[in-house]
Structure 1
Amino acid sequence: MKTALKMPLLAALVFSMSACQTLNKKEAVNAEYIPREVLFGNPDITGIKISPDGKYVTYLSAHKGVLNIWAQEFGKPETAKPVTHDTKRGIFRYNWTYTPGILTFAQDVAGDENFGLYTLNVSTGEITEITKPGKVTSQIAETSHLRPQEVVIMTNERDPKFFDYKILNLTTKATTDLFTNTENYAGIMFDKNFHPIIASQSNKDGSSTIFLWNAGSKKFVKKTVVPFEDSMTSSAVDVSHDGSKVYLLDSRKRDKAALIEWDIKSDQSKVVASDERSDIQGLQMHPQTGKLLWASSYYLKRDIQFFDKDFQKHFEGIEKKLNTEINVTSMSLDGNQWVLFADSTDKPVAFYFYDAKTGTLSQPLYHTKAMIPYGNRLSAMEAIEIPSRDGYQLVSYLTQARKPAGKSLVLLVHGGPWGRDDYGYNPYHQWLADRGYNVLSVNFRASTGFGKKFLNAGDKQWGRKMHDDLIDAVNWAVKNDYADPKQIVIMGGSYGGYAALAGVTFTPDTFAAAVDIVGPSNLETLLATVPPYWESFRANLYKRVGDPTTAAGKKLLKERSPLTHVDKIKKPLLILQGANDPRVKKAEADQIYNAMVAKKIPVEYVLFPDEGHGFAKAANNMGANAITEEFLQKYLKGRLEPIEAQVKASSAQMITTPQ
């Protein structure tokens, strides 16, 4: 991941910020379990950023029970106040601009992911709507200290399938066209002067064509083609400030994606970073100079290759002092001040300020102060390799319960499926382990980060070899005495929800129960209803899941859809769904629920009318997890925190009739 950077100076002020976070009263510590409120409630502080001019600290915290943006003068915690006053869904995305005192944030409507853009003046509280949420989606494409009064935004207002690019003047709030995307490019990147540099365009065979901007003709010119087999492991990730170089993650001519520096004027490229075990996945540039600071890869755990000795000295010194992995989540324009995220699998999540000029590290700011008394009850995560039946090594993560409920296990499956599980603090692992269950997360084939061969091995393997990998992991857990074969539940969201449905249909005797969270049940209707702005990804979807435009593809999709095999379900199933989900529509939950009701197969279905692809509102997340916890307790016999109050506080609707 390319890391967003921002923030300023003075070690003494760093400490005054951290000192403002104290436990105001002695919290009652529950002797039986870590409360869901502590694990999943609104954080005390997260998303900390410092304005480029160093005047303000901003962060996300609850205001009247809803997540909002807060601001304070740097080093003056007594000035902290909410600068947004949302009372509905909350705010989750925001970024500073280089105009003093101005930031931008995005909001959708009830989880529909049609984000509107807003500017906010943190000193006056003035909010200006730039694009309206609910019908189109917009986001910030580029900010620059070289053009501090403007930002580049992207919006699909003209064509729902593709994004145009506009310059937003942060003073006048006027927008002017920068690039009208009539050629249907999947994405365009700009330099810090907002000149277009590189674009990609998806092709019908799943490959993509790379174009470079010709300043003379003011057009993009075709440069190279990325074959289908490299399409998910190769992309442009950054452009040098002056636009002379492009940084690519590129798996062409290799299996694991390397970081490539491409000098587009000389057309010369060189490998900057690579790893024999995994793809290069992240990098960080100095915000002012654009110099590459580090690149990271991730096999079992993160590995970093440094390109700046001074930065490396500071970074490694902090990790040694804290004895944990850190990430720099915000950095001042001059690179002297950092915001750090300390990521330990079994310690409360904490943030720090660091002054690189003086080498001063602040006291911790805890994401959730109420977690501190439970810190000694968190469970460590183990990074392991599990062999698949056909020779792959499945990078997996196991968290064992300190007080186990028998030998029960939850197989927690990640979404995507083109994503991955990784090593670090995971509130779901901690919650489930605290209730008495061992927890296993598996990077099955199609997961990202492990090279193109492993990713492509998942093509058209939904419900087949991808599911085999999960079953191989279950068998490994049983063989190694982490699980009783009669006490295993499969649970996940999105693709993980599909995996849960596949678990009770394709392997109906393997699991004691399943929890499907916003998972597709019918692959034909899933592909027919993806958001319009996924158009550039459509060919890839068809080649990797199944092509509904061909007879063979339709047959495959029907065969791999859990809905087709609903009569095989004989184990308990819980379905959780957001009504406004734009990716996996409510109809996916409705279809399998209706089919089960028609066949008189027991099923529990809970709908959240104000949510989308997952549960963003803390009250709904806690309500969904409370319902899940009660369901798990029925079949795995773990500990159960009372659920009534949190379910009542959420928007959960228990569906009892066909939809």
Structure 2
Amino acid sequence: MLSSSRFYADTRATWGYEPSFDGALIAWWGSKRGARAVFVGEFSSGKLNIIATFKGDLFHFGWRQYANLLVLTEKDRLWEVDPRRPRIRTDVTPRGFQTWQVIVEPGHAEDSQSIISYDRNPAVADLYTTGADGRGKRLVEQNNGATESWLLNEAQVPCVRVELAASGIRRYLHRSDADTPWQEMAALEPDDTMVIWRTDRSGNAFEALSNRQRDKIALVSLDPVTGKETVLVEDGNVDVSDVLRFTPTEPADVAVIRDGYPRYQTLSERGTIFTGLVLDRDGHADIQISGSSKDGSLLTVAISYDERPYQHYLLNLADKSKTLLSAPAEKLKSSYSAVTKPVSFTAGDGEEIPALLTLPAGAPHPVPTVVMAHGGPARHDSWGYNIEKSFLASRGYGILSVNYRGSTGFGKRYQSLGYRQFGRKMQDDIADAGRWLLAQGIAAEGKLAVAGESYGGFMAALAMAGEDRLFSAAIIDYAILDLPYQMQNNPVGWGLFLGQVIRYFGNPDDPGDLTQMQEFSPLHNVEKLRGSFLLTAGMEDPVVGCQQTKTFEKALRKADLDVTALYFHREGHGYAGWQTKLVRAREIELFLSRKLGGKAKKIDPLALLSKHWIQGRFVNGQ
């Protein structure tokens, strides 16, 4: 059995490969002396040789679209560097901003780049341009207080603007050029979705993922003059979840449909070549594109075949070749002995609930099992390699990941079933999942745990309130635990996007809604809770903060319940540091072993050292 360190702190792991604009160089993430680093390499004699390494407090990199220059994001600065002269860095941070985000890169050295900034109003963004060197700040459009986003043409002139009306209607406005007035091309109801992109250089031809006037999201082409949609790809059971585009100004090449297992529908000649290269063996595959050359002929992809750890490849669509860039360590590959399959169960009210069941291969039933609730709630879990499921399965646990009502991916009707059902029918789906596991003989009474992050943590906490004591333990990560507090203190930047949150949870300005939020919040139901709790939170969480977890921990201890609490400095809403991930995984391993009886390594030296080494970032609540 591999240690948690081999899962979460593999110093040989690499990820995020991206080719330069012409494919001459490739950059990727890895580790050097225990710290995350960016590596740059070039092929020689069929081998990818490292020519430069960059360390520091880096969290993003990207290539210029006109030269083999790397742009590194370090804290709040942007640095341009030539990997062949790695000691020379040029500061190209956008000047004159407190907050900024580059949304369109310059196409050539003399071109501008587009930036959004919340400096003027933290609730809405304004649109600016600067030069590639970060200088020459120019206001393009000041937000009118209702603009959610812009889509730009190749000249970086806004060609589509999305506005939110007071009624909740979302208006998509189009103009053919900068001198043409804005005209409405589509109006969406609050429950509608439209993700739009241009398929030409001028911004007068578009495709979109849209469920306007239909239940499921389909891939459509969109006429900007009439607003008429022409369906290109749709599925009767689930949304079209994604598309793969190899160049930004051409139509989609592949549509992705995740009806249980992923399915890839080709839409172009390049899409056919692509699927032929990646789907070159039996079984199922989860494919993620991590980068592409400017012309789209070279792609870097991460592929998980039959849920195995991701392998990274360079695809050359021109000569139809596939080159392995990196594979997981042999021990990690051979350690994976679990199978995930799509399942569904019938809830108490007759609704069919989709889920994913992961079981240790060859383990006799019953097995101790963890029911997982995803966050959001406007999200969904999908089939593919998941390191946490792999880790838990290696310890002998089954995992049932529930796409409870209110999840996305299954149409508007299914999502709407979750509105105002927090603590009620949504919560019943988690309990019904546990009962289904028992009825199927997959799990045994007293050997069920529940886990979730963010809103999933809310559900995991409430699941411990059942009179039947269905779950023995809960793992609760950076969770919403006091819903009235959360709804009254959502991030300011969510201002134009709060409509969906309110549809799920109610209006915090309505006394009746606020009462219901309190009635079904874990913090206000501690007296009903039973079992054991593992709580984690990031001390710099900008979404829910860490105070909700601290207050909940205090209330649990006051009720004399079994609690382990972990707080991580320099971590936010989700964890980035490998030390944090390792310490958390080791605590989960020990916690579940004590409560459900699964396997655990007697000692994990690196996890122990990491826990002590990051004392400046890690606080044990006990």
- Say whether the fold is shared (TM-score over 0.5): yes
> What is the correspondence of 1:79-478 to structure 2 with a 5 Å cutoff?
80-86=50-56, 88=57, 90-91=58-59, 93-106=60-73, 118-125=79-86, 126-128=89-91, 130=93, 137-143=99-105, 145=107, 149-171=111-133, 173-213=135-175, 215=177, 220-230=182-192, 233-238=193-198, 240-265=200-225, 267-287=227-247, 290-321=250-281, 324-325=284-285, 326-363=287-324, 365-366=326-327, 368-369=328-329, 371-372=331-332, 374-375=333-334, 377-402=336-361, 403=363, 407-478=367-438
Contact in 2 for aligned 1:211/1:223 (Cα 8 Å): yes
Contact in 1 for aligned 2:377/2:407 (Cα 8 Å): yes
In 1, the alpha carbon distance for the partners of 2:274 and 2:146 equals 44
Structure 2 vs 1, CA of residues 349 and 598 (structure 1 numbering), >3 Å: closer, same or farther? same
Shift of 1:404: 6.6
In 2, the alpha carbon distance for the partners of 1:442 and 1:637 equals 23
Contact in 2 for aligned 1:529/1:585 (Cα 8 Å): no
Contact in 1 for aligned 2:51/2:84 (Cα 8 Å): no
**Per-residue CA distance 1:280-304 (angstroms, 9 max, x = gap):** 1211234176132122221212222
Contact in 2 for aligned 1:131/1:138 (Cα 8 Å): yes
* Most deviating of 458-467 and 639-648: 639-648
Secondary structure of 1:363 counterpart: strand
Shift of 1:344: 2.4
1:6 corresponds to? none
Give the partner amino acid of 2:29: L
**Per-residue CA distance 1:291-318 (angstroms, 9 max, x = gap):** 3212222121222222113531442353
Shift of 1:586: 0.8
Give the partner amino acid of 1:359: K
Contact in 1 for aligned 2:482/2:518 (Cα 8 Å): yes
In 2, the alpha carbon distance for the partners of 1:185 and 1:379 equals 46
Give the partner amino acid of 1:97: R
Shift of 1:626: 0.9
Contact in 1 for aligned 2:17/2:301 (Cα 8 Å): no
Structure 2 vs 1, CA of residues 544 and 357 (structure 1 numbering), >3 Å: closer, same or farther? same
* Most deviating of 201-210 and 150-159: 201-210
Shift of 1:236: 2.4
Secondary structure of 1:181 counterpart: coil
Contact in 1 for aligned 2:41/2:49 (Cα 8 Å): yes
What is the root-mean-square deviation in Å for CA atoms of aligned residues? 2.7
- Equivalenced residues, count: 610
**Per-residue CA distance 1:332-357 (angstroms, 9 max, x = gap):** 23333222221124423201122223
In 1, the alpha carbon distance for the partners of 2:443 and 2:272 equals 42
Residue of structure 2 aligned with 1:71, choices 40, 52, 75: 40
**Per-residue CA distance 1:78-100 (angstroms, 9 max, x = gap):** 752554321x5x52x33223131
Secondary structure of 2:119 counterpart: strand
Secondary structure of 1:603 counterpart: strand
Shift of 1:267: 4.4
Q: TM-score, normalised by structure 1?
A: 0.86
Shift of 1:51: 0.5
Shift of 1:128: 2.1
Secondary structure of 2:438 counterpart: helix
Residue of structure 2 aligned with 1:648, choices 612, 615, 622: 612
Shift of 1:573: 0.8
Give the partner amino acid of 1:100: A
Residue of structure 2 aligned with 1:587, choices 543, 547, 552: 547
In 1, the alpha carbon distance for the partners of 2:268 and 2:37 equals 36
Shift of 1:621: 0.7
In 1, the alpha carbon distance for the partners of 2:102 and 2:467 equals 44
Structure 2 residues not aligned, in runs of 5+: none
In 2, the alpha carbon distance for the partners of 1:608 and 1:649 equals 13
Give the partner amino acid of 1:48: Y
Shift of 1:467: 1.3
* Most deviating of 345-354 and 144-153: 144-153
* Most deviating of 516-525 and 205-214: 205-214
Structure 2 vs 1, CA of residues 527 and 192 (structure 1 numbering), >3 Å: closer, same or farther? same
In 1, the alpha carbon distance for the partners of 2:595 and 2:298 equals 50
Contact in 2 for aligned 1:117/1:138 (Cα 8 Å): no
Structure 2 vs 1, CA of residues 289 and 64 (structure 1 numbering), >3 Å: closer, same or farther? same
1:39 corresponds to? 7
In 2, the alpha carbon distance for the partners of 1:404 and 1:445 equals 31
In 2, the alpha carbon distance for the partners of 1:415 and 1:163 equals 26
Contact in 2 for aligned 1:405/1:436 (Cα 8 Å): no
**Per-residue CA distance 1:44-99 (angstroms, 9 max, x = gap):** 2110010012231100111332222211234486752554321x5x52x3322313
In 2, the alpha carbon distance for the partners of 1:166 and 1:214 equals 20
Q: TM-score, normalised by structure 2?
A: 0.91
Give the partner amino acid of 2:91: T
In 1, the alpha carbon distance for the partners of 2:575 and 2:403 equals 23
Structure number with greater CO (CA < 8 Å, separation at least 6) is: 1
